[in-house]
Structure 1
Amino acid sequence: MSKQQQMKSSLLLLITACIWGSAFVAQREGMNYVGPFTFNAVRFALGALSLVPLIIWLDRRSRKSSHEIKASVKSSAVSGFLAGLILFCGASLQQIGLIYTTAGKAAFVTGLYIVIVPFLGLFLKQRINANSAIGAIIAVYGLYLLCLKNDLTLGTGDLYELVGAFFWSAHILLIDKLSRQTDVIKLSFVQVVTCSVLSFIVAFATETIDFAGLSQALIPLLYGGICSVGIAYTLQVVGQKGAHPTQAAIIMSMETVFAVVGGYFILGELLDTRGVIGCLFMLVGMIIPQLPPIRRNIIAQE
């Protein structure tokens, strides 16, 4: 793969991180008016709708036969459903966690996928170097400072975000595999439709869908749907096609910085000294895996 392609992928993933980071603010603001599953159901539906014109335009532009288009849709449907299941779990845990914690803390805990991805990759027989191991230790200590209370317990919201980080990590690894095998735009469309449908099912069963609340949450929903879902998840799928999963996780973890900045300026969220130090440790832990290898071939079990 050429350097130009790698740079393009990195840029797309950085834009994704920027959109996702600021979306934490929109997601938390939207929670003032609607429940977590209602919010996700509507925003993912909006994201799916925003992709329809793009899919139609690309199919016409490609001049593929109807048979080729049908084959592409079939392949994307299976892959997208699998990705959508994991996306639903991660997005649901993230949205519920935002009820109990700040946008900045939620983003930092979610950003631990930068550490988790290489270790999950061990199960796929991917190598992990010393940088990733050291980064993991530093990031976990940062998580301790940021989230653990004096009695060594995690806050409710932080725990939701931490479990969600494992699903985001699995999603990154799955997208890395699927994006090389199928139409990336259709894959993105099917996964967000799957997430929306599952969210609607849970919302109808557990929440009261209030149309007055939806109207009040219109701006967060539009941003969370069109920008965070329709644009950013598509950029993620396209960007990951030309990037290693660990590299992709590192770049996308920059969403934490954008979330903290947005939370401070828009929501007035502040961290205490211990929390700020914890964030710094986590940021260092996220950056270290990107540095030149300290030692090659620390690997895992065969």
Structure 2
Amino acid sequence: MERLEQTNQPTILQNKAIIWGLILTITLIWGYAWVLMKQSLNYMGPFTFSSFRFGTGALTLLIVVWIIRLGLPPKRYIKHLILIGLLQTTIVFTLVMFALMFVDAGKSSVLLYSMPLWSSLLAVKFLGEHLTRWKIAGLLSGMIGLLTILGWDIWLGQSLEVIVGEILIIISAVSWAVANIYYRLNVSHLPKIQSSAFQMLFGVLGIFIATLIMESGQPIDVNSVSLYYILFTGVLASALCFTVWYIIMNTVDMVTATISTLLVPMFGLILSSLLLNEQLTIGVTTGSALILLGIVLSQITFKSS
């Protein structure tokens, strides 16, 4: 895979305009996917949709792995990929999709993408990274942002279901962060596409089990619209975009890549407001801005640090 990426880079990915065009396209697709995830609940249960989405995504990624001849990961990595799959796919997207029944799509995207804040905090403990004053400022800004969103809903007398849903999404963000740290410690030597394909495969098995337990026998409305939601989020947003994203990450630094992901909740908020008529309250707007600011501060390294 590395030879393939190195061969393509001089002709395709050395042009900054092309790179940023791809980044904007991918993050826009990921932001739009939140709208479709929310709308999919009109046609099937949250776990059922996740089963279809990540089953399709895993199959597509496995085909990519087969095409570029990566093969199966070494046996010593299997247990690690199973755990990452449970943390990053099963837990995150069962909780997120369940929470989307009560929480707006735009707000959900912001809460889930607080993940870099939790990753920064965990990296200090488990990766030995230094907690600079900028990271401390970023963590404080992000935490205040989370409390602003949650607190604003409490002050407005929001329903208990919404508050619980928001907490579940924050738990999902923490689970995603734990998966990232665990990946760095145990699986970082594997090609990213290979590890993503197999963690998604193991993760979707967990989602299948949750679907059988929670939604067995529930009606599923499969039509052109719901099929579009599944294929868009599964093939395009989950598999193909991740494949291109991993190649892009080999051409840009990690700070740029991480900051670029901030476009996802921004697009999620904007598109959810335009397409789902979700209201951007003062609490959501202020809290989102504080979280985004916190992620920027916690990820950028200043020489004076």
Normalization by structure 1: what TM-score? 0.81
The answer on 1:168 being equivalent to 2:176 is yes
Which among 271, 276, 284 is matched to residue 262 of structure 1? Answer: 271
CA drift of 1:106 comes to: 0.5
The answer on 1:25 being equivalent to 2:35 is yes
Report the Cα distance in structure 1 between the residues aligned to 2:217 and 2:19, rounded to whole angstroms: 39
CA drift of 1:180 comes to: 3.5
Tell me the residue number matched to 1:288: 297
Give the letter for the 1:147 counterpart: L
Q: Indicate conservation of the 8 Å contact 1:21/1:259, yes or no.
A: yes
Q: Indicate conservation of the 8 Å contact 1:38/1:207, yes or no.
A: yes
The answer on 1:158 being equivalent to 2:166 is yes
Tell me the residue number matched to 1:115: 117
% identical equivalent positions:
20
Tell me the residue number matched to 1:41: 51
Q: Structure 1's 106 and 253: CA in aligned 2 closer, same or farther, altered over 3 A?
A: same
Per-residue Cα deviation, 1:218-248 (whole angstroms, up to 9, x for no partner) = 2211111112221234445555567776664
Q: Structure 1's 95 and 147: CA in aligned 2 closer, same or farther, altered over 3 A?
A: same
Which among 88, 91, 94 is matched to residue 93 of structure 2? Answer: 91
Q: Structure 1's 274 and 250: CA in aligned 2 closer, same or farther, altered over 3 A?
A: same
Q: Indicate conservation of the 8 Å contact 1:10/1:243, yes or no.
A: no
Tell me the residue number matched to 1:147: 150
Equivalences for residues 78-227 of structure 1 within 5 A: 78-87=79-88, 88-123=90-125, 124-148=127-151, 149-150=154-155, 155-177=163-185, 180-210=188-218, 212-215=220-223, 217-227=226-236
Per-residue Cα deviation, 1:249-294 (whole angstroms, up to 9, x for no partner) = 4332331101111101211111222322222222222222344528
Q: Structure 1's 232 and 193: CA in aligned 2 closer, same or farther, altered over 3 A?
A: same
Q: Structure 1's 137 and 85: CA in aligned 2 closer, same or farther, altered over 3 A?
A: same
Report the Cα distance in structure 2 between the residues aligned to 1:280 and 1:146, rounded to whole angstroms: 11
Q: Structure 1's 134 and 14: CA in aligned 2 closer, same or farther, altered over 3 A?
A: farther
Report the Cα distance in structure 1 between the residues aligned to 2:19 and 2:84, rounded to whole angstroms: 20
Q: Indicate conservation of the 8 Å contact 2:117/2:138, yes or no.
A: yes
Report the Cα distance in structure 2 between the residues aligned to 1:253 and 1:80, rounded to whole angstroms: 26
Secondary structure at the aligned position of 1:101 is classed as: coil
Matched residue pairs, number?
284
Q: Which is worse superposed, 158-167 or 242-251?
A: 242-251
Q: Indicate conservation of the 8 Å contact 1:247/1:290, yes or no.
A: no
Tell me the residue number matched to 1:65: none
Q: Indicate conservation of the 8 Å contact 1:86/1:171, yes or no.
A: yes
Q: Structure 1's 121 and 9: CA in aligned 2 closer, same or farther, altered over 3 A?
A: farther
Q: Structure 1's 239 and 78: CA in aligned 2 closer, same or farther, altered over 3 A?
A: farther
Q: Indicate conservation of the 8 Å contact 1:25/1:103, yes or no.
A: yes
Per-residue Cα deviation, 1:17-71 (whole angstroms, up to 9, x for no partner) = 3332221111111112211211111100111222233222211xx8xxxxxx45x
Q: Which is worse superposed, 173-182 or 40-49?
A: 173-182
Report the Cα distance in structure 2 between the residues aligned to 1:35 and 1:187, rounded to whole angstroms: 28
Report the Cα distance in structure 1 between the residues aligned to 2:254 and 2:120, rounded to whole angstroms: 8
Gaps of 5+ in 2: 1-12
Q: Indicate conservation of the 8 Å contact 1:146/1:275, yes or no.
A: yes
Per-residue Cα deviation, 1:130-181 (whole angstroms, up to 9, x for no partner) = 1111111112222222222127987121111111110111223334455641
Q: Indicate conservation of the 8 Å contact 2:44/2:219, yes or no.
A: no
Q: Structure 1's 167 and 11: CA in aligned 2 closer, same or farther, altered over 3 A?
A: farther
Give the letter for the 2:58 counterpart: A
Q: Structure 1's 238 and 26: CA in aligned 2 closer, same or farther, altered over 3 A?
A: same
Report the Cα distance in structure 1 between the residues aligned to 2:181 and 2:102, rounded to whole angstroms: 28
Which among 257, 262, 276 is matched to residue 285 of structure 2? Answer: 276
Secondary structure at the aligned position of 1:99 is classed as: coil
Gaps of 5+ in 1: 63-68, 297-302
CA RMSD of aligned residues (A): 3.1
Q: Structure 1's 120 and 245: CA in aligned 2 closer, same or farther, altered over 3 A?
A: farther
